[in-house]
A and B are shown apart, each in its own frame.
Chain A
């Protein structure tokens, strides 16, 4: 017996990027389950948007697309016959390796399609690197696409959470209690983050696999750091999770879907000024499959 889940998302360009003319550096991709046996998948990525990461809007799209494709494969090959202990092991060891490799392949392919131009590197002391098919690009090439990643996969048997870099995953219980399924390795200060583009990416990945339990959680929220940075502290930020659950229960997931982008725009305007992207997995009440 399992619940039907619904995925919702919205992504808005922050005030800061609207004023500077920069694109939204975030990306989100999701897959809604068609049946109760099907998996719900959400991938959210935040491109760094710094001077050196001048293609990070593309880097975040590539990250979210690679993650969704690999999560689909992962869910397919970890069906009912695979013990949860093996699912966990593969999620923690194999999946991050596949993801980082896939993202780097996608970056290389993008660079072959659209090589760096001298204008791209006008502000830097070095010349733009020439990328040849089959050759490994230098670090600064990946840095141009630098992005973070957070994902969730909800299957019949397990919920997989994974994170690389900043951003937040919150779970909200049916009683409104909010918590973080992933405890951070270490703190990030002042816009600092781990990234898909660094050689430490694999060691920075955090992955957790929980067995599905009745009614828990009722909602999972994935958000880029622009959202949490709108709040003075975790307490204020956590209240968003409880509020979103209350809205979905009172007005339905469609209402939240229709209004989410407006709420995020308001938050960016009155808070961090950064791009904000949110992916929500909402468990339908009283339905079983």
Chain B
């Protein structure tokens, strides 16, 4: 007997703009703070084996944690910011990482959590198309936590919505460190719990209605970013 694998991938923006106003430090703190909550949720559901990976993207995308690590052993190593925003490259690499033998037939829907403060500088759509050409990429729960006012601009929101590809689930907007912590904790717990459920979905239907129904943005403090 074995629990079903559940792959969770952090996709963190390490571009130069994340240095401004302490955004990168806030991201590091928020993810580090969320990990114990993720571990608690995972312990409460022994039927899912949560495996975590992490990738950052700046001038290029690179794995911070390439081999899936059981959530109980996952540690966040502080990310430093510098360079441009190669999000398209990152999505393409995640697509490749969601193929056998890296993911088994019996896995639960993966979660891809993108945390970013702005627009990609490379071919985002080519990367997204590559991710969505993979069955597990299409079935993943894709969530965006957008940081700061640049990420709230129309062009950025269009990109985030294309990534999420779920009309019922909007990108989260964090304009201060407290909101970032809240959003990332939500991603780490509610979203994780939701995809752990064994309920079936009719092929071709929206796979993550439960998450969408529960996606309530937390109220934040005054805007900083």
A: residues with CB less than 8 A from B are 14-16, 25, 46, 48-53, 123, 143, 146, 148, 165-166, 187-195, 197-198, 225-226, 228-233, 236, 266-267, 270-274
Contacts and interface: CB of A to CB of B under 8 A. Distances in A.
B203 A16 contact: no
Interface string B16-60: 000000000000000000000000000001111000000000000
Interface of B: 1-4, 45-48, 104-110, 135-136, 138-139, 197-205, 207, 209-210, 213
A191 B135 contact: no
B47 A16 contact: yes
18 contacts: A16-B197, A16-B198, A53-B199, A148-B200, A187-B135, A189-B135, A190-B107, A190-B108, A190-B109, A190-B207, A191-B207, A194-B203, A229-B106, A271-B1, A271-B3, A272-B47, A272-B198, A273-B47
A14 B2 contact: no
Given A148-B200, A229-B198, A191 B109 contact: yes
A229 B135 contact: no
A197 B203 CA distance: 11
A52 B209 contact: yes
A135 B106 CA distance: 40
Contacts of A233: 104-106
Nearest to A188: B203
Identify the interface centre among B2, B138, B197, B200: most chain A CB within 10 Å of its CB.
B200
Given A189-B138, A198-B204, 14 more contacts: A46-B200, A48-B201, A50-B199, A50-B200, A50-B210, A190-B136, A191-B108, A192-B202, A193-B203, A195-B203, A226-B198, A232-B106, A233-B106, A274-B198
Contact of A52 (B105, B107, B198, B205): B205
A194 B200 CA distance: 10
Given A233-B104, A271-B47, A272-B47, A191 B1 contact: no
B210 A51 contact: yes
A123 B202 CA distance: 18
B87 to A, nearest CB: 24
Contacts of A123: 213
B2 to A, nearest CB: 5
Given A187-B105, A232-B106, A192 B203 contact: yes
A45 to B, nearest CB: 12
Contacts of A50: 199-201, 209-210
A51 B48 CA distance: 20
A190 B209 contact: no
B104 A191 contact: no
Contacts, number: 114
A53 B197 CA distance: 14
Contact of B207 (A148, A192, A266): A192
B106 A146 contact: no
Contacts of B135: 187, 189
B139 A49 contact: no
Identify the interface centre among A188, A191, A195: most chain B CB within 10 Å of its CB.
A191
A221 to B, nearest CB: 17
A192 B139 contact: yes
Contacts of B200: 46, 48-50, 53, 146, 148, 165-166, 191-193, 195, 225
A136 B203 CA distance: 22
Nearest to B194: A51
A197 B139 CA distance: 20
A273 B1 contact: no
A25 B197 CA distance: 13
A233 B45 CA distance: 21
Contacts of A230: 1-2
B51 to A, nearest CB: 13
Contacts of B2: 230-232, 236, 271
A50 B211 CA distance: 12
A59 to B, nearest CB: 11
A79 B167 CA distance: 53
Contact of B202 (A15, A143, A189): A143
A267 B1 CA distance: 7
Contacts of B47: 15-16, 271-274
A128 B138 CA distance: 30
